[in-house]
Chains A and B, each alone.
Chain A
Amino acid sequence: MSLALYRKYRPSTFGEVIGQDHVTEPLSNALTSGSIHHAYLFSGPRGCGKTSSARIMARSLNCEKGPTSNPCGECQSCRDLVANGPGSIDVMELDAATHGLVDDARDLRDKAFFAPVQSRYKIYIIDEAHQLGPGAANALLKVVEEPPPHVLFIFATTEPDKLIATIRSRTHHYPFRLVPPAVLAEHLEGVCKQEGIAVAKGVIPLVVRASGGSVRDALSVLGQLLAGAGKEGVTYEVATALLGYTDGALLDEAIDALAARDGATLFNTVNRVVESGHDPRRFTQDFLERLRDLIIVGASKENAAHILREYPEDQLERLEKQARLLGAATLIRSADIAADGLTQMRGATAPRLILELICARILLPGNDDQGLLARIERLENGISLRGTNAEVAQVADKPAESKPSTEKIAVPAAVKEEPAKAVAPTPKPNGPVDIAALRKFWPEVIENVKKQRRLTWSLLSASAQVLAVDDKAITIGIVNSGARDSFVRSESDVILRKAFAEVVGLDLKVECIVDPTVNASTTTPERMSEDPTDALELGGAALLAKELGAHVIKKFTNDV
């Protein structure tokens, strides 16, 4: 039996540690310059080189020609401490998970005071340090703070926050990170070359994806693939089969069925997944990843190719189409459900049943908030797919001349005529129930109102929103009752109705209600651009007098 890859390719110098330059460089510099601390804490996710770095640190410190960042590899200590070597009597690697009791710590503390046998330092590597019991950790405090000059501690842990703060504050903390895909891929290619096994294109990215950035995970998976390699090396097919990745075609089928809301096809796909021996869990995971990719494609449009490099051009086009058909809200909701279902698949439940349940939940948006969003999105998509309405032209023409005389306040003629000319020839798409589309036109409507009458505009611009629309009326929400009253009294609804007719081509009665939830801050910047010379611009007192019938009682200056 040969050694597992992750043991065989354990680094023996800092130069061989990959993807941790932010840690290995300062450590190398410290070794070269001789500024060595007495306690280190290495933390980071599984398989990114904590324990290996601790061993390298020990090797570098105890090298006869050291301390050096480049251990000579020839002296007794270097040969003892090389990866998979016999180990040195002066470097003690303790597993805190099995030696995490207070007695173990006391024992360590007592022995620490003896001088090293043959090397420069006596080094304690305390691995899985998060498993140190509170008693043990506290017993170590004093010796970790002020150890004898020949003693050095290196703590390694995946969960540094579980280690008590008093230990952490006595150490230099070096957080390790997961390895970036490009660096990891390069390393894996090197390993394959050394192992002398040909690996097909596309296999290494698969391994990188399966590992999630952990070198040990990657080498475990790679070992599995190399074990399954035939004479022609590791082919892409063998790799996907061994790793259990779902066939891209099956995923496409599932997503297309989802987009078409075709339950029968979706459940048939599930059936095929199970029958063909795929792991339902794996499928759910891949399905979730596909949804994530679709969300990215939907959100980033043409930039998607940069983010999702693993997809070829034609596949990306397919993704874009799928993302468009499904819509962002549906995608996010589906992804949520899939992620939720994955956690349910833990433990001992028939995974197929859970997978089918996930599909059913996605297919049938219930009454939760997200479900409603998804349903609205479906409606919207349905409307936009139907194309522009034939009645648009008729409706759009009518209003322009129908109600111009109802205005009570004199409006400069030039201002009044301009919008009519500008807007009339552009028929806008008409959706009788599509409130979202109507809201998109709201800023234009407001602009139109501004040209007709300043007062109406000032009432609407900052504090109103379209609330609802049906085939009889458009409902506007205004943030407070004072503004609403003056809106109604000044017959601004007629102006607004006209504006809607001109801009959107929708001549409906305008109803106005009070809605304090309207966001009042959206259009404030526009107020800044007001032209102070405008004839209709009214000052505070004048406006009050005009709109609310107020009169000035007393004027006073405000001395600060």
Chain B
Amino acid sequence: MSVFDRLIDQGDTVAVLERAVVASRDSTDESQDMTHAWLFTGPPGSGRSNAALAFAASLVCSAGGCGDCVDCRTALSGSHADVELIQTEGLSIKIDEIRELITRAAWTPSVATYRVVVMEDADRLTESAANALLKAVEEPSSRTIWLLCAPTVTDVLPTIRSRTRNLTLRTPSAAAVSVLLQGEGISVNLANFAAAASQGHIGRARYLARDQSARDIRNDILKLPTTIVDVATAFAAAARLVEAAKGQAEEDAEKKNDGELAALKEAWGQQGTRVVTGGAKAVKELEKEQKSRQTRMVRDYLDRALLDIATFYRDVLLVQTGSGDELINPDLSDVINAMAGSTTPEKTLAKIEVIMKTRANLLLNAAPLLVIEAMMVQLR
């Protein structure tokens, strides 16, 4: 059992990391196997942060990443004294946070050989924050290791990139994801379907495989393009999509919100209805935060739904250009074939472009219902 078992289909990367761990444990080592700053990149869902955390665990573990000891378990859960885990739920990592971090990063490790900083979203560093990191990442104290994660190398400053060693994770193959899901007790058919539909995004595959309602929603969304025949049906489809996204976001948010609220109230010592002074304000702030989070969740769900619809048209396009062997949505092959026969590839491509444009507009904070309606009308 090793911490690297958690990485799916990343044999090459694991080999590099294991050599690095061996080199890191030998103080006389003169090879270049280990270095002080790493940049993990890879598509969403490929396990960037998992890889970084596993590497961190193996660096602080006395057995080189056994996966069972206290060091490993605490490192993986982010509570190890010498593993600094920087995560953010917000949109960016600010410079003040980084200034503080740089000081802490320079400390000598308390129990382990190394102090490891794992930054899960290095792409969210603001420009000034990233610049503040430069010197620390270039020449850290001798026992500090930096592990940064970002979707692609262009998402971080070139000056950061040039100071780090880049490791690119591959998109896990559908077969590997399917095997993983089967190992978790999911039937072969379901695992294969979820692996194909999620396009190598492990988290999404697991979600699809485990949750019947998630599959239903996906099916509903994918059938939307076929229902559009005129403007009226386009508007109806847009309404249904936005409604579904809102409903899902609300449902998920409520599950989280109530728990958080209860925990906060308990922390402020609420008994019955009375709250300690200052508690009401904290509760209000939390509620505000939860509201903005819910807005973002709606947007995230819509984005994912649009991507699903785009994969549908991508399949149509593939059939039209004559290579229909690798569909993302094999379950809908008859609908896809029918649509492929009735339009031209140029039109299909134009539709995908419309969807991509809509996604960009959503990111720019356009009103969801409006842009989705505009898109559906163009998808006729």
For residue B97, CB closer than 8 A to chain A, the reply is no
Interface residue range, chain B: 35 or more
| Pairwise interchain contact A5-B151, C-beta atoms closer than 8 A | no
Within 8 Å of chain A (Cβ to Cβ): is B154? Answer: yes
- The answer for the CA separation of A353 and B198 in the assembled complex, in Å, is 12
Task: For the complex formed, measure the closest distance between the CB of B352 and the CB atoms of chain A, giving whole angstroms.
Answer: 6
Q: A1-B36, A268-B323 are in contact. Are A227 and B163 (CB under 8 A)?
A: no
In the assembled complex, the Cα of A244 lies from the Cα of B171 at a distance in Å of 13
A1–B314 CB distance below 8 A? no
- Bin chain A's interface residue count: 35 or more
| A window 162-215: CB within 8 A of B | 195, 214
Residue B356 is within 8 A (CB to CB) of chain A in the complex: yes
- Whether B162 pairs with A357 at a CB distance below 8 angstroms is no
Measured between C-beta atoms, what is the minimum distance from A267 to chain B in Å?
A: 4
Task: Report the separation of the CA atoms of residues A356 and B345 in the bound assembly, to the nearest whole angstrom.
Answer: 13
Interface set, chain A 258-317, CB cutoff 8 A to B: 263-268, 271, 274-275, 277-282
Q: How far is the CA of A130 from the CA of B138 in the complex (A)?
A: 18
* Cβ contact within 8 Å between B152 and A2: no
Q: Which residue of A6, A95, A263 is within 8 Å of B132 (Cβ)?
A: A95
Contact of B162 among A47, A98, A348 (CB under 8 A): A47
Residue B159 at the A interface, CB < 8 A?
A: yes
Are A271 and B326 within 8 A (Cβ)?
yes
Interface bits A1-18 vs B (CB < 8 Å: 1, else 0): 110111100000000000
In the assembled complex, B209 has its CB within 8 A of some CB on chain A: no
CB contact between B165 and one of A223, A264, A347, A353 (< 8 Å): that residue:
A223
Asked whether any CB of chain A lies closer than 8 Å to the CB of B32, the reply is yes
Of chain A, the residue at the smallest CB distance from B102 is: A98
Question: Is B163 touching A228 in the complex (CB atoms < 8 A)?
Answer: no
Tell whether, in the assembled complex, residue B12 and residue A241 are in contact, meaning their CB atoms are under 8 Å apart: yes
A241 to B36, CA, bound (A): 22
For A220, A282, A345, which residue has the most chain B Cβ atoms within 10 angstroms? A220
Do B318 and A267 have beta carbons less than 8 Å apart?
Answer: yes
Q: Using Cβ atoms and an 8 Å threshold, which residues of chain A touch B164?
A: 220
For the complex, is A109 an interface residue (Cβ under 8 Å from B)? no
User: Given A350-B43, A361-B349, is A220 in contact with B165 using a C-beta cutoff of 8 Å?
Assistant: yes
Are A345 and B323 CB-contacts (below 8 A) given A1-B34, A98-B132?
A: no
A349 on the interface (CB 8 Å rule)?
yes
Any chain A CB within 8 A of the CB of B192?
no
Given A131-B132, A226-B31 in contact, is the A217-B43 Cβ separation under 8 Å?
A: no
From A95, A214, A265, A275, give the contact of B134 (CB < 8 A). Answer: A95
- Interface residue from B133, B152, B307 paired with A350 (Cβ < 8 Å): B307
**Cβ-based interface call for A545 (8 A):** no
CB of B310, distance to nearest CB on chain A (Å): 6
A79 CB–B CB distance under 8 Å: no
Least distance between B24 CB and chain A CB atoms (Å): 5
- Chain A residues in 8 Å Cβ range of B19: 227-228
In the bound complex, CA of A534 to CA of B17 (Å): 87
B243 to chain A, nearest CB (A): 25
Interface flags for B177-194 (1: CB within 8 Å of A; 0: not) read 000000000000000000
Given A95-B132, A220-B164, A345-B152, CB of A1 within 8 Å of CB of B158:
no
**Complex alpha-carbon distance, A123 and B112, angstroms:** 38
Answer yes or no: A97 CB below 8 A from chain B CBs: yes
A353 in contact with B134 (CB, 8 Å): no
Of the listed residues B30, B43, B325, B345, the one surrounded by the most CB atoms of chain A closer than 10 A to its CB is B43
User: What are the residues of chain B within 8 A of A47 when measuring CB–CB?
Assistant: 162
CB 8 Å contact bits of A212-247 with B (1 = contact, 0 = none): 001011001001101110000000000001001000
Quick check: A46 and B162 within 8 Å, CB to CB? yes
Q: What residues of chain B lie closer than 8 Å to A127, measured between beta carbons?
A: 134-135
Q: Are B35's CB and A4's CB within 8 A?
A: yes
Listed residue (B32, B102, B323) with the most chain A CB atoms within 10 angstroms of its CB: B32
Q: Is the CB of A131 within 8 A of B128?
A: yes
Q: Which residues in B have their C-beta under 8 angstroms from that of A363?
A: 321, 345
Find chain B residues with CB under 8 A from A432 CB.
Answer: none
The complex places the Cα of A244 from the Cα of B131 at a distance, in Å, of 28
Can you list, as one digit per residue, whether each of B144-178 has a CB less than 8 Å from chain A (1) or not (0)? 00000001101100110111111010110100000
Q: B349 to A282, Cβ gap below 8 A? A: no
Assembled-state Cα–Cα distance A265/B318 (Å): 11
Within 8 A of B (CB), among A32-66: 45-47
B36 & A4 in contact (Cβ 8 Å cutoff): yes
Question: B133 to chain A: which residues have CB within 8 Å?
Answer: 97
Q: Mark B326-363, 1 if CB is under 8 A from A, else 0.
A: 10000000000000000001100110110010000000
CB distance from A214 to the nearest CB of B (A): 6
Specify which of A2, A220, A278 is in contact with B31 (CB 8 Å cutoff).
A2
Q: In the complex, what residues of A have CB within 8 A of residue B263's CB?
A: none
CB within 8 Å of B: which A115-132 residues: 127-128, 130-131
Given contacts A97-B128, A98-B102, A128-B134, contact A216 B162 (CB under 8 A): yes
A223–B326 CA distance with the chains assembled, in angstroms: 39
Give Cα distance in the complex from A281 to B133, angstroms.
Answer: 26
Q: Would A267 and B151 be within 8 Å (CB), given that A216-B162, A241-B12 are in contact?
A: no
Give the docked Cα–Cα distance between A6 and B163 (Å): 9
B228 at interface, CB cutoff 8 A = no
Is residue A158 within 8 Å, beta carbon to beta carbon, of the partner chain? Answer: yes
5 closest A-B pairs by CB: A263-B321, A264-B323, A97-B131, A97-B132, A264-B322
Query: Can you show 12 pairs from A to B with CB atoms below 8 A apart?
Result: A1-B29, A1-B36, A4-B37, A98-B99, A127-B134, A263-B345, A266-B321, A280-B43, A350-B199, A350-B200, A350-B307, A364-B346
